[in-house]
Amino acid sequence: MCVRLCVRLNGRCTNDLSSALSTVKSYVDRILQKLQVEDRRQAVVFAIRNGYVK
């Protein structure tokens, strides 16, 4: 779910999670911090390299 959350657009995440946009941005920022990456693009590369995404 983390990777899917990172690569989706914020507006789409808001609809999926029924949360406020600021909450979704906060979740994405926290996930990026935990993965130790700077942006969503790097999160996708991380996921592919570590076998989370084929």
Is it the case that residue 49 has pLDDT exceeding 90? yes
With respect to residue 42, please indicate whether it lies within any of the assigned structural domains: yes
- Within its chain, how far is the Cα of 31 from the centroid? 6
How many domains in the chain? 1
With respect to residue 30, please indicate whether it lies within any of the assigned structural domains: yes
Q: What is the pLDDT of residue 29?
A: 93
Query: Which DSSP state fits 52?
Result: S
With respect to residue 54, please indicate whether it lies within any of the assigned structural domains: no
Mean pLDDT of 43-54: 90
With respect to residue 40, please indicate whether it lies within any of the assigned structural domains: yes
With respect to residue 29, please indicate whether it lies within any of the assigned structural domains: yes
The boundaries of the domain holding residue 42 are: 2-49
Is it the case that residue 50 has pLDDT exceeding 90? yes
Dump pLDDT digits (tens) for 3-46.
555 555 555 655 555 667 778 889 899 999 999 999 999 999 99
C-alpha angle with apex 54: 17 to 34, nearest 5 degrees?
50
34 vs 53, which has greater pLDDT? 34
